[in-house]
Structure 1
Amino acid sequence: MNQLTTRKSDITEGEIHELLRNSRRRRVLKQLQERVGVVTVRALAETIAELETGESPPPRRIRDSVYNSLHQTHLPKLDAYGVVDYDKNRKTVALRREVRQVDLYMEVVTKYGITWAEYYQRLLLLALLVILAAQFDVVAVAALPTAVWASVFLVVLALSSAAQLWSRRWFYLQQLVGDHR
């Protein structure tokens, strides 16, 4: 961090929304959450350019553009708010514990590319349709009683909630391990 810059200790909700308004900053945070420890700006720029273009490797001019915007704008801003540790001299970046303040506002996406909210909406819609079909003796689902279908979906909902909770705890566990290195 630049010696002249002072970090904020608490980030207001408006400031969090300002930080997350930019898609490149959201990608930076997401990529850093998926990795443990310190990441070079070059590697981060490469990954983000790849995500933005869909090409592997991404075109050099795009990589350079992403690198410059990260180095000059996005990483210093995230560092100033105390969300990341950005070393301009070494060109490295790592998440800080304070990212938890921002993390609460980021939409959590499953590994399948949908948000947890979308997943739960689809699961509950499917449950409703199957339970109604069982109630009205639709042939494909009438073999099992409505109560069994409801129980099956409650178990799936409970397991899904546990998986979501575990994935978040795993992230925080990685952060704690990284903080003690």
Structure 2
Amino acid sequence: MLSQKPHLSEIEIYDVLANERRWETLRVLTTTSGRITVAELATAIAEVETATRPVPKSTRDSVYASLHQTHLPKLDELGIIKYHIDSREIELRDGAKQVDRYMDVVTKYGVTWGEYYQLLGISGQMLVIFSLIGLPLVGAIDPILWASLVLGVFAISVGYQLWTSRWRLLQLFG
């Protein structure tokens, strides 16, 4: 269990993410700094699965057992997490970075939506700055117009992203 794989294949990554508890484990760990106990993780996952708070003890115990016996050892073996069995604590390892990209929605152009929005934000900011300093061509257009244009593209992009992933949203909120 101490070995860490230097590189995960896409098949291994898809296998990891195919299971909702492993996927949710990684989501919880990426939003938590440092270590988390198996009990805390089991409670968080059981809350998502049942959409109730507090979670029924039997559900939390079932999630805890499957994490401890199956999912956490697998993630540890692949080098994605470090599972400290003696203290029942978990933390992310460098292997999680390989999986992280697959947890984001990738567009048909091979870029994640996060990367797209970062590029759009930086480009918009640069257009406004160039307009303010009077760079030829760009400076001829008011910075507020550039900012409005970029915000409009953001709004259209968000609408498109929500529309194309509506089936996921319906499952989540339906």
Question: TM-score, structure 2 length as denominator?
Answer: 0.62
- Secondary structure at 2:8 match in 1: coil
1:80 aligns with 2:77: yes
1:18 to 15, 20, 29: 15
Deviations 1:39-68 (A, max 9, x none): 000011011101110111111110000000
RMSD of equivalent CA atoms? 2.9
The answer as to whether partners of 2:5 and 2:95 remain within 8 angstroms in 1 is no
What is the rounded CA distance, in whole Å, between the counterparts of 2:149 and 2:70 in structure 1? 46
Structure 2: which 5+ residue stretches go unaligned? 106-111, 118-143, 158-174
Aligned position for 2:125:
none
Residue in 1 aligned with 2:129?
Answer: none
Q: Which has the higher contact order (CA 8 A, sep 6+)?
A: 1
Once the two structures are aligned, what percentage of the paired residues are identical? 43
Map 1:94-105 → 2, pairs under 5 A: 94-105=91-102
Which structure 1 residue ranges, 4+ long, deviate > 2 Å from structure 2?
Answer: 148-151, 155-159
1:124-161 CA-partner distances (Å, limit 9, x unpaired): xxxxxxxxxxxxxxxxxxxxxxxx888624245479x9
In structure 2, what is the equivalent of residue 154 of structure 1? 150
Gaps of 5+ in 1: 109-114, 121-147, 162-181
Tell me whether 1:29 sits opposite 2:8 in the alignment.
no
- Give the Cα separation in 1 of the matches to 2:147 and 2:40: 47
